[in-house]
Every structure is written in C-alpha cells, then in structure tokens.
C-alpha cells in the first residue's frame, strides 16, 4: 500500500480539520505575490478556488473551454445544495450530514474528508448569501429548505430549479472582482492538453487556444484541476456536450493515480431516450421526488396497452398501479437514494412493465400532490365544498410555483403536459464519483497537482446523495484548498517565476503536437461522433447500471479494438491551426477510449456490489446490492503504466473509526 499516504490528521474526528489548519505551514502575504497558481476549470470548484486564492494574494490564471467562466457545467445543477444548518429544527447536525453522506456512499468514502465537508457546509450558505445568491425564502424572510433522496431531514437550500446557476454566478462574480483587481487572468476558450512536470512537480500546462489553434505554455508553482466529471464517456448523459476527462487523464498519464473509475451515478429521474439521433439526456431534478409518486402498472397487459397507446395512464385506478418504491422501501418511499431508485426502475422495466414505446420508462406522477395541495389551499382560503376541478386548479398552481420551470422544460422536450398526465422518466448517467486520487490536502500523487470538485474522488464513495456535489465543489474551493495549498507552496517562496523555455516544456509541447498530427493523419472513414456513440453503447450495455464478469471482459476487449480503429480511421476535417471543433472533440474522445477500458477493468476487479456499482453476481435474494467489506473496503487507485490494460492497482484501505459499517437499508 506504501505509496498512498492519505495524510489524514490524527486525533478525534471533530477536531481533525481545526488541528490540521493550525499545524500546516502558511505563506506570508508578501510572498504570495510571488507565487503563481493555475486553475483549470471555472465551475463551482475552480471558480471558488480561483476567487479565494486571488483574494489571498496569489497570482491566479484560470482556464475553461467555454467562452465565459459562467458557462461551466455547474450552471446546470437544478435541485439544491446541502448544509447542516438545522434551520428547520428537524434534528440535523454536522454529524448527521456526515453520517448520511458516508452511508449514502455505501461506506466507500474517506471518513475525515466527509466530516470536514459536513463541517464547512454551514459556511458555504453564509458565504453565498453574503455574495447575493438569491436562495428561496419563506414568507418571514428566512431561508427555505427542502429534502432530497436518502435523508430524513430538510437541509437542502435552493434557488428555484436553478441552484447551480445561482451559486456559479456567485463564484463568477467573486472571480470577476479579482479579474478587475488584476489578480486573476482568465483564459476562456482554452483547453488544457497536458500537464508539465519539472523535477517531479507539477509546474505548468500546455493549452490550446481554441479560437486560433495556437499551442501555449503556461507555468505556475502549482496546478489545480477542477475539470468536472467524465460521465460523457457514455455519450448519452446529463452532462454538457463538452464535458470531458482530458485534463484529469493527461495528469493520470503523467503519474496521478485515477481512483474508483467505475463508480458512476445513474440518476433515476431523467427524460427517457427518444431516438437514435439523440445527443443528450435531460435531467428532471430529484426534488420532484418530494411530491411525485413513481409507479408502473401492476399488470403486464396494462403496461403493453399503454406502450401501444391504447390505454392512458390516468385511466388506471390506484389499485391497478404498482408504486414499487413505496412498496419495497416503506421508510423512505419515493425518497430512497439514487442508486436504489435507479435500479428499482430498471428492474421493473426489465421485467416488462416499462411504459414508453421502447419499454424503458416509468411514471412520475403528481396527481395526488396536486389534489393534496389543492385541498389544503381550498381549506386555508375558506372555500366550502369545492369541486374536484377547482381543487385541481388550486393544486396545479401550487405545484407550478414549486416546479414550474421543470414542468415547462419537460413539456418542451416531450410535447406532453405533465400537469395532466404523469411524466415519463428513466435513469441516466449523471455524475462520476471516481476521479483523481487525492490526499486530505486534495493533492494528487503528483506533488503540486491538486484536484477539486467532481474531478477528485474522495467524498462521495460509491454513490452520491443529492445536493452534495455543489456542496463539495464550493467547500473544496472556498474553504479547503486555500489552506492546504499554502502548506505546499510555503516551500516555494524563493523559487521565483517558473520559466517556460525549459526542456520539460519543450518535450510536453512536442508530445501534444505529435498527438494532434497523428489524430489528423488518420485515413479518414468515420467521424468522431461515430466512435463516441459506439463507445457509449458498449459502456451503457456492459458497464452501465448492472455489470457482470462476462460482459465486462467483453467490454475491455471491444473498447481496446475500438480505440485501435479510432486511431487508424478517424476523420477530422479542417486544420489544427485554426478553430476546429472536430479536432477538439477528437482529443476528448481519444481519452475516453482509454478511460473506458480502465473503467471496465476497475469494475471487473471489484467483486462486490456497492452504491452505483452493481455486480449481478453479488446480490441478496431480494435483489439488493451485496457489499463485501471484508475484501473490498478500499479505494482502488490505478497507476498508469503505458496502456489501460497494464495499469497497476494500489489500494487505500478505508478506516472507519466513527461509523459502524452497516448494511445499507432504506426499508
């Protein structure tokens, strides 16, 4: 195990972070001016880190591939952000948030990191409110909360269905303030293509200006990768089209270990696939599960009739419907965690009860919520004996106030009115819990290279509870990295600016150019999307919601063959020295083709079921995930050895001192 040192501080859990902050080295403010930091990614993690590090006095350079930092994928998060504020007085606490997160992640996250996350969560809300983030309020003017899957308290703060957008605009504003002060230099439409190491330390990056095609060298004393998740590997996912693994993968090839690549979250409430042309899946926020009830018909004949359009869902009575989550998990009902809800939907559809044309959808129904709210409203407004239609109208208004924009989005995409007929939903790839391995300081196995937000692996284990990714991104950026990076940089106060004309930069730039040339010299038969779609199909069918040994082995072989074909036959029009979106895509897909194989290898190695990783060979008689703590209570951290097939596995044993490992039950 030797080389994986998690650097967890000793002592009682609740004191670890404070103690650590007191003990690590600081950089004198006057010296910070002489230190440069590169931050790749301007989402919640990168944006907040950039603003805070610049605020502290470091010289920061930020990079993103979009035309503005404000467009990072974090913008799309709908539901909310958790914090253990206990404003609702429903028994929430730092410990409970910590406990729920570790349990929700099926005991595959690092205890000390998760505790720290819960601890700083309350500061996040204070910080964002001070920045003017318009969170939802109650009539009394105080902050409102709602609950999410996997928990029994209301700790989720939200801004309509646009929480990610508002939090990101907060961080973007903080960045803008530092750009104005000259402390951040923002490089937009720039893509990091490689990491540069000098004497074994991360000292810069090679980036491509996506407008001019120029290859640029940028140096710094430390490099932070906040580049998001790699779920686009599946082609169809809820990720933005440009989301990619390139920066993390390049760092992996340079020596950063890649942890738990197979831990992928499949989100239960997405709009189902409609056809072959589809480029992207759209999420319906999980908050809908607070009021929506999930069901399929009890009888197969009814399911078939619905699929053929001969029967309308509203024609089925309560008794003819199977509210399978409420049936199987009475304590949590529709609010079970995502992995449980997703698998249950797949189970019903596989058994022949799916309700859309392809049989891959279940209903998310608001009829009872509409009637319940309507009755309440009628009562509180003193109406006597209102008829059903009036009640329904009143109820629809209340549901509209809560979820209006989501309902509108659904209607635009599907062309059906969810107030009148239940929505159809199906699970889709949504978040990757795996990522670059980091220690307690968020440093990767490359000194000076850090990873934050979705790009690292540490906090969510094998499954992420809702509203905790935003929390983690902001915690890393605003409150963790600014301390821990100082500890490392305190050794660099005399280093001076890092030159970019060194042999190391020459070599890295040459690698990048050679690779691009090779990509563009293929004999040219198929487009980049052709390969991406093929990879996505293999991933979804064989490494998706459930996996087995046979298919994983097939996937490994098929991906390796596809990769070979790609490098020989991909067709990229245009030139490398100008704007070229096909070339951009090709670079990203090339890396997905390597990661995909490692992903399958990791899934094959993990002979247990936990969280988002379900191995069919390991399940209870009731079809629930069967974890094996005896043999698999570890993080798998893969070291690059030249090819995905030769990657070397290192294990970080997970130590639980404060939580007793239990079978996860939501019954």
Partner 1 sequence: MKLYLKIWRQKDASAKGQMVDYTLDGVESDMSFLEMLDILNEELISKGEEPIEFDHDCREGICGTCSLQINGRPHGPDTMITVCQLHMRSFNDGDEIVIEPWRAKAFPVIKDLIVDRSAFDRIQQSGGYISVNTSGRPVDANAIPIEKHIADTAMDAATCIGCGACVAACKNASAMLFTSAKVSQFALLPQGQVEAAERVQNMVRQMDLEGFGNCTNTGACEIECPKGISLENIARMNREYLSASVKG
Ligand X SMILES: Cc1cc2nc3c(=O)[nH]c(=O)nc-3n(C[C@H](O)[C@H](O)[C@H](O)COP(=O)(O)OP(=O)(O)OC[C@H]3O[C@@H](n4cnc5c(N)ncnc54)[C@H](O)[C@@H]3O)c2cc1C
Applying the rule CB under 6 A, the residues between 35 and 74 that interact with ligand X are 40-46, 63-66, 72-74
Task: Indicate the helix (H) or strand (E) that contains 259.
Answer: strand 258-259
- Smallest gap, in angstroms, from Cβ of residue 295 to ligand X? 24
- Smallest gap, in angstroms, from Cβ of residue 387 to partner 1? 30
Q: Restricting to residues 255-314, name those near partner 1 by CB under 8 A.
A: 274-275, 277-280, 282-283
Of 419, 497, 489, the C-alpha closest to 449 is 489
- Smallest gap, in angstroms, from Cβ of residue 358 to partner 1? 13
Q: Which stretch binds partner 1 (CB under 8 A): 28-36, 137-145, 226-234, 244-252?
A: 137-145
At residue 204, the 3 state secondary structure works out as strand
Binding partner 1 (rule: CB under 8 A), the pick from 5, 25, 90, 138 is: 138
Q: Which stretch binds ligand X (CB under 6 A): 75-83, 88-96, 357-365, 503-511?
A: 75-83
Within 13 Å and on the Cβ side, how many CA atoms surround 149?
A: 28
Of 521, 525, 442, the C-alpha closest to 488 is 442
Of 53, 121, 41, 54, the C-alpha closest to 86 is 121
Q: Restricting to residues 175-234, name those near ligand X by CB under 6 A.
A: 191-192, 226-229
Binding partner 1 (rule: CB under 8 A), the pick from 6, 34, 42, 52 is: 52
Binding partner 1 (rule: CB under 8 A), the pick from 127, 154, 468, 472 is: 127
Helices (H) and strands (E) in the chain, counts: 19, 19
Burial class (CB in 10 A: 0-12, 13-18, 19+), 401: exposed
Burial class (CB in 10 A: 0-12, 13-18, 19+), 132: exposed
Q: Which is nearer to ligand X, 72 or 151 (CB)?
A: 72
- Smallest gap, in angstroms, from Cβ of residue 484 to partner 1? 13
Q: Restricting to residues 421-440, name those near ligand X by CB under 6 A.
A: 430-431
Binding partner 1 (rule: CB under 8 A), the pick from 173, 333, 447, 522 is: 173
Active site residues: 338
Q: Restricting to residues 487-526, name those near partner 1 by CB under 8 A.
A: 524
Q: Which stretch binds partner 1 (CB under 8 A): 100-108, 345-353, 404-412, 489-497?
A: 404-412
Angstrom distance (rounded) from CA 625 to CA 343: 10
Q: Which is nearer to partner 1, 69 or 612 (CB)?
A: 69
Q: Restricting to residues 236-265, name those near ligand X by CB under 6 A.
A: 238-239, 244, 246-247
Q: Residues binding partner 1: what is the number (CB under 8 A)?
A: 79
Q: Which stretch binds partner 1 (CB under 8 A): 16-24, 168-176, 261-269, 327-335?
A: 168-176
Binding partner 1 (rule: CB under 8 A), the pick from 529, 565, 628, 629 is: 529
Angstrom distance (rounded) from CA 432 to CA 654: 19
> Cα 195–200–201 angle (5° rounding)?
60
**Contact call for residues 16 and 112 (beta carbons, < 8 A):** yes
* Neighbouring C-beta atoms of residue 661, cutoff 10 Å: 14
- Smallest gap, in angstroms, from Cβ of residue 193 to ligand X? 7
Cross-strand pairs, 202:
197
Indicate the DSSP class of residue 221: S
Q: State phi, psi for 629 to the nearest 5 degrees.
A: -70, -30
Burial class (CB in 10 A: 0-12, 13-18, 19+), 403: buried
Q: Return the one option of partner 1, ligand X, none that residue 44 interacts with (CB less than 5 to 8 A, by type).
A: ligand X
Q: Which is nearer to partner 1, 166 or 636 (CB)?
A: 166
Angstrom distance (rounded) from CA 370 to CA 392: 6
Residues near ligand X (CB under 6 A): 40-46, 63-66, 72-74, 76-81, 163-164, 191-192, 226-229, 238-239, 244, 246-247, 283, 430-431, 453-455, 466-470, 473
């Amino acid at each position: 195990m030797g080389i994986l040192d998690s650097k967890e501080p000793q002592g009682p859990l609740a004191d670890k972070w404070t103690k650590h902050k007191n003990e690590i080295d600081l950089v004198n403010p006057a010296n910070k001016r002489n230190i440069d930091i590169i931050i790749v990614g301007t989402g919640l993690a990168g944006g907040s880190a950039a603003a805070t590090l610049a605020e502290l006095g470091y010289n920061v350079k930020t990079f993103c591939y979009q035309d503005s930092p404000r467009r990072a994928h974090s913008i799309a998060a709908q539901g909310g952000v958790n914090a253990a504020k206990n404003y609702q007085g429903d028994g929430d606490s730092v410990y409970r948030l910590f406990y729920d997160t570790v349990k929700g992640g099926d005991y595959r996250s690092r205890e000390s990191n998760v505790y720290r996350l819960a601890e700083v969560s309350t500061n996040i809300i204070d910080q964002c409110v001070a920045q003017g983030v318009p969170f939802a309020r109650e009539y009394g003017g105080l902050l409102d909360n709602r609950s999410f899957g996997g928990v029994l308290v209301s700790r989720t703060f939200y801004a309509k269905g646009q929480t990610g957008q508002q939090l990101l605009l907060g961080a973007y504003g903080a960045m803008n303030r530092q750009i104005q002060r000259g402390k951040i230099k923002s490089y937009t439409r720039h893509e990091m293509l490689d990491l540069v190491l000098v004497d074994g330390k991360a000292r810069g990056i090679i980036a491509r200006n996506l407008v001019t095609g120029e290859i640029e060298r940028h140096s710094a004393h430390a490099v932070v990768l906040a580049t998001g998740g790699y779920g686009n590997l599946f082609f169809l996912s809820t990720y933005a089209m440009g989301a990619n693994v390139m920066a993390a993968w390049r760092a992996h090839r340079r020596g950063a270990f890649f942890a738990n690549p197979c831990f992928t979250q499949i989100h239960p409430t997405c709009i189902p696939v409609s056809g072959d042309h589809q480029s992207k899946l759209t999420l319906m926020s999980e908050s809908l599960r607070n009021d929506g009830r999930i069901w399929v018909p009890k009888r197969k004949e009814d399911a078939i009739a619905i699929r053929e359009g001969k029967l309308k869902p509203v024609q089925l009575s309560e008794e003819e419907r199977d509210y399978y989550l409420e049936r199987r998990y009475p304590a949590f009902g529709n609010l079970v965690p995502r992995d449980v809800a997703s698998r249950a939907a797949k189970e019903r559809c596989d058994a022949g009860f799916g309700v859309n044309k392809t049989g891959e959808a279940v209903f998310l129904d608001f009829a009872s919520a509409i009637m319940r709210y309507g009755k309440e409203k009628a009562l509180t407004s003193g109406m006597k004996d209102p008829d059903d239609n009036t009640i329904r109208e009143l109820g629809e208004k209340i549901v509209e106030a809560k979820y209006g924009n989501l309902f509108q989005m659904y209607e635009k995409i599907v062309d059906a009115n969810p107030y009148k007929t239940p929505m159809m939903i199906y699970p889709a790839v949504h978040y990757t819990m795996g990522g670059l391995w980091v220690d307690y300081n968020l440093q990767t196995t490359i000194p000076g290279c850090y990873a934050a937000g979705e790009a690292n692996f540490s906090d969510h284990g094998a499954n992420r509870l809702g509203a905790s990714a935003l929390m983690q991104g902001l915690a890393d950026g605003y409150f963790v990295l600014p301390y821990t990076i100082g500890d490392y940089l305190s050794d660099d106060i005399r280093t001076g600016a890092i030159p970019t004309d060194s042999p190391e930069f020459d070599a890295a730039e040459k690698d990048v150019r050679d690779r691009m040339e090779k990509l563009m010299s293929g004999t040219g038969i198929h487009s980049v999307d052709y390969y991406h779609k093929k990879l996505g199909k293999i991933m979804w069918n064989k490494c998706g919601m459930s996996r087995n040994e046979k298919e994983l082995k097939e996937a490994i072989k098929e991906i390796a063959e596809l990769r070979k074909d790609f490098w020989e036959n991909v067709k990229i029009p245009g030139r490398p020295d100008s704007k070229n979106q096909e070339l951009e895509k090709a670079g990203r897909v090339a890396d997905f083709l390597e990661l995909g194989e490692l992903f399958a290898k990791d899934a094959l190695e993990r002979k247990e079921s936990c969280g988002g990783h379900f191995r069919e060979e390991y399940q209870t008689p009731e079809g629930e995930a069967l974890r094996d703590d005896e043999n698999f209570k570890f993080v798998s951290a893969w070291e690059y050895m030249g090819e995905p097939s030769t990657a070397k596995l290192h294990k970080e044993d997970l130590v639980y001192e404060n939580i007793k490992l239990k079978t996860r039950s939501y019954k």
